[in-house]
């Protein structure tokens, strides 16, 4: 990967000395961050655990975002319900506090009716950080069987003519029937899990076909991606790019780009198909090259006001996790270095430390800029992926226990 001088010298708070950066790279090469980075990440994790201890007992639903710094809840989880129990699981693994384990289990059970939901592609977001992680950490078959049942619901959204999983809308609704979004790459690991647990390859086959379709039509020559790509649902023929979350069909929504990096790397690990790894690298190279010196992503990398635009810390948290995974898959230290800079930037500049009333851990997130919905608020997936990223760095064995970070041999 070509790294610009600005990227090499940038840190969360600006320029840092070359000696300090070299020290960080050397330490990262051994699997451990440099001492200064280690301290920043441990301090952030400690803050997150303390915040969760204070807030979690009073949470009455599934957080979807904040209003005036307080969580707003969804009773059924919307598309984000898996992140709250997932965050509690990460806090349990980091702290050893069984109180978080109890709260995670209680919260995850509230998603049980969604196992049968065929109206959304987001079942991976709902069930992987909650039920799959619960299965891996408790061994209780209730969680495994429920996650497999959710995978059964998800594959009903597969269009065999276009070889894609439909993103939005009830199966009986012709609206959006041919709409594919980059986010769905993050829902495919639920299908890989179902194939591993059942021995039935149909789930992973569908995930692989969807990933191949996404790889074919989403990445542009420079590695950027649109949010949406439309197909004719009857014939499966491609129609063209679009957007809902991004600035335009020709722009690059930052969180979507992060979903792509993480999702394609995961699909490489589940299949051994190097084409998915190459795609993850192309997307990562574009995103890392588009970062500003503060290493907190703008909401859209190609919007006219970037790099001086509204921030989305959640995109940085997701991207950090994807880059850590990609660094391990490729052996390229530069990806890990950038991931550590992202996590350090979030820890230093995006936590809610200065507010006594804040319910969340991470601030400066943007949910849907074009709709003016949730601009620079807190979002539950930012908290989750920040802790996941920290666990991947400080406690990789525990992260593996929760997530399954294994890689299958290449075919």
Residues belonging to the active site:
122, 183
What lies within 8 Å, CB to CB, of 318 at 6+ separation is: 255, 258, 259, 262, 381, 385
Question: Is the separation of the CB atoms in 176 and 232 below 8 Å?
Answer: no
On the 0-12 / 13-18 / 19+ scale of CB atoms within 10 A, 358 is buried
Residue 302's SS3 state is: coil
Peptide bond into 233 cis (omega under 30): no
**In sequence order, what are the residues at sequence separation of 6 or more whose Cβ sits closer than 8 angstroms to the Cβ of residue 67?**
377
Cα 225 to Cα 220: distance, rounded to the nearest angstrom: 6
Instruction: Quickly list H helices, 96-184.
Output: 98-109, 123-127, 133-138, 141-155
Q: Are 87 and 52 in contact, with CB atoms under 8 Å apart? A: yes
Strand-pairing partners, residue 231, are: 238
CA angle 176, 179, 183 (to 5 degrees): 125
Measured distance CA(358)–CA(55) in Å, rounded: 9
Quick check: 21 and 340 in contact, CB under 8 A? no
- Please, which residues bridge with residue 168 across strands? 120
The CA-based angle 337-343-344, given to 5 degrees, is: 85
Q: To which residue do tokens 């996790």 refer? A: 321
Residue labelled with tokens 């929504």: 253
Helix/strand/coil for 275: helix
């Amino acid at each position: 990967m070509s790294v610009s001088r600005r990227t090499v010298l940038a840190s969360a708070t600006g320029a840092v000395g070359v000696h300090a950066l070299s020290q960080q790279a050397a330490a990262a090469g051994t699997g451990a961050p440099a001492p200064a980075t280690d301290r920043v990440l441990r301090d952030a994790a400690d803050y997150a655990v303390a915040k969760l201890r204070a807030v979690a007992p009073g949470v009455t639903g599934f957080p979807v975002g904040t209003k005036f710094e307080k969580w707003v809840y969804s009773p059924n989880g919307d598309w984000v319900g898996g992140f709250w129990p997932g965050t509690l699981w990460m806090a349990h693994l980091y702290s050893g506090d069984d109180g978080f384990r109890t709260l995670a289990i209680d919260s995850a059970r509230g998603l049980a009716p969604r196992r049968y939901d065929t109206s959304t592609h987001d079942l991976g977001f709902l069930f992987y950080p909650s039920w799959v992680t619960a299965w891996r950490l408790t061994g209780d078959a209730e969680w495994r069987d429920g996650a497999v049942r959710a995978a059964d619901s998800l594959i009903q959204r597969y269009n065999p003519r276009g070889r894609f999983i439909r993103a939005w809308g009830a199966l009986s609704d012709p609206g959006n029937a041919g709409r594919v979004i980059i986010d769905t790459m993050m829902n495919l690991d639920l299908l890989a899990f179902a194939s591993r647990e059942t021995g039935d390859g149909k789930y992973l086959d569908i995930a692989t076909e969807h990933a191949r379709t996404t790889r074919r039509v989403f990445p542009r020559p420079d590695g950027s991606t649109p949010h949406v790509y439309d197909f004719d649902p009857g014939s499966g023929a491609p129609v063209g790019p679009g957007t809902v979350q991004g600035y335009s069909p020709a722009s690059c929504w930052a969180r979507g780009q992060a979903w792509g990096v993480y999702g394609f790397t995961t699909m490489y690990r589940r299949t051994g198909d190097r084409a998915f790894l190459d795609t993850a690298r192309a997307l990562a190279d574009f995103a890392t090259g588009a970062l500003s010196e503060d290493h907190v992503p703008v909401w859209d990398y190609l919007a006219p006001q970037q790099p001086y635009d509204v921030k989305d810390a959640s995109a940085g948290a997701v991207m950090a996790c994807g880059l850590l995974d990609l660094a391990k898959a490729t052996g390229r230290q530069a990806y890990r270095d950038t991931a550590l800079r992202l996590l350090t930037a979030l820890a230093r500049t995006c936590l809610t430390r200065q507010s006594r009333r804040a319910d969340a851990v991470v601030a400066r997130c943007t949910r849907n800029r074009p709709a003016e919905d949730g601009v620079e608020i807190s979002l539950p997936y930012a908290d989750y992926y920040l802790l996941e990223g920290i666990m991947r760095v400080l406690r990789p064995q525990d992260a593996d226990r929760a997530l399954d970070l294994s890689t299958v041999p290449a075919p």
